[in-house]
Homo-oligomer: A and B are copies of this chain.
Amino acid sequence: MKTVEWNFTTHKLQMIDQRLLPGTFEVAVFDDYRAVGQAITDMVVRGAPAIGAAAGFALGLAANQSAATTPEGLLTDLKSAADLLKKARPTAVNLAWALDRILNTLTPSPSLKRRGEAPPLPGGEGWGEGSLQSLRAAVLTEAQRIADEDVEINQRMAHHGAELIADGDTVIHHCNTGALATVDWGTALGVIRMAHKQGKNIHVLVDETRPRLQGSRLTAWELEQYGISYDIISDNAAGYFLSNGQVDKVFVGSDRTAANGDVANKIGTYMLALAAYDNGVPFYPVVPTSTIDLSLATGAEIPIEERDQAEVLSLTFQGQAAFPEGASARNPAFDITPHRLVTGIVTENGVAYPPYLENLRKVVNVKTS
């Protein structure tokens, strides 16, 4: 079972419900794109690459759900479904990236328009009954392609990143960036998996990652399964281990990276990067190029989601609520790590080093050249 998977028999989307892990392994099934949007918001599925794939398949559901009788009507329905899905979470750029990528395969490219040629619609000429079916199929084909590519991209990133890991290294990892954050394999955790697979002896300090504990719940659960040595630590404790020479490298994911190398990632990444930098420990975000947003000059332009305070006001201590009655909380879900703290950015096309403004563009453009 992949984290995000289309069932070609039932024509439904299946996703591991990550809110229930590690205690319960349950697969949630979706036949309504709106429910997928809600599941993204509620973090049934999370992690930028997994969100992108889920949104792609949700558009597949929307295509099937549409009652449109013309290709134009179907396209209108798909665009409005995409608009709704894009609002599910604001920070990860793959959500919009995957949806736009699918919509772009269905509509004429600007270059063709400029040349005044007839648009090469996937429905072919005639816009008849058959075209509606092939439009629907085209949505799903592209969604599946995005999902398949994600696994392949993760493997390529893992190979590039694993070269940075030496035998005997202790690394800190934040949040979850493993198979559960992607369609399969993982980004930052995928790098660690690959180094382990290569026979390198590694120990992982797993930031528990308050408030939703993706580290202690999901990353530790994955590491147990891979047989990789680890200890869970309070997010608070990363600085202690970094300052005591007990950590060799830090690997994190990213939900969106700006053109200058500023990285938006799970809340706490910035403080972790500061502590790594202060102790001369290399800090590597591992990011598929689909999460690099060259349209944004700096991280200041990346929208930061603030989630429900109930996620913070959620803990018990000795069996009782760990906060007083009437307590309020703030809950930003991401922060921005300035590029000056980033040693290198691992992508499927290689590791980009400073100056990022120049070198990120190079790794992004590899795939389209």
**A positions within 8 Å CB-CB of B:** 19-20, 22-24, 205, 208-213, 216-217, 220-221, 224, 230-241, 243, 267-268, 270-272, 274-275, 278, 304, 309, 312-318, 320-332, 334-336
Q: What CA separation (Å) do A179 and B231 show in the bound complex?
A: 34
Residues on B with beta carbons closer than 8 Å to the beta carbon of A230: 328
Question: Are A234 and B312 touching (Cβ within 8 A)?
Answer: yes
Question: Are A210 and B210 touching (Cβ within 8 A)?
Answer: yes
Question: Are A304 and B240 touching (Cβ within 8 A)?
Answer: yes
- Distance to closest chain B CB from A264 (angstroms): 11
Question: Are A232 and B327 touching (Cβ within 8 A)?
Answer: yes
Closest to A316 in B: B316
Question: Are A208 and B208 touching (Cβ within 8 A)?
Answer: no
Whether A330 contacts B278 in the complex (CB less than 8 A), given A323-B220, A324-B224, comes out as no
| Assembly stoichiometry (copies) | 2
- Distance to closest chain B CB from A304 (angstroms): 7
Question: Are A239 and B328 touching (Cβ within 8 A)?
Answer: no
Cβ contact of A327, chosen from B220, B268, B332, cutoff 8 A: B220
Q: What CA separation (Å) do A320 and B217 show in the bound complex?
A: 10
Question: Are A232 and B268 touching (Cβ within 8 A)?
Answer: no
Residues on B with beta carbons closer than 8 Å to the beta carbon of A336: 243
Whether A323 contacts B20 in the complex (CB less than 8 A), given A234-B211, A234-B331, comes out as no
Question: Are A213 and B271 touching (Cβ within 8 A)?
Answer: no
Residues on B with beta carbons closer than 8 Å to the beta carbon of A314: 317
Question: Are A270 and B234 touching (Cβ within 8 A)?
Answer: no
Whether A220 contacts B271 in the complex (CB less than 8 A), given A20-B318, A237-B331, comes out as no
Q: What CA separation (Å) do A88 and B179 show in the bound complex?
A: 44
Closest to A221 in B: B324
- Distance to closest chain B CB from A305 (angstroms): 11
Whether A213 contacts B322 in the complex (CB less than 8 A), given A240-B304, A268-B239, comes out as yes
Whether A330 contacts B237 in the complex (CB less than 8 A), given A275-B270, A321-B22, A321-B23, comes out as yes
Q: What CA separation (Å) do A238 and B275 show in the bound complex?
A: 14
- Distance to closest chain B CB from A253 (angstroms): 15
- Distance to closest chain B CB from A221 (angstroms): 4
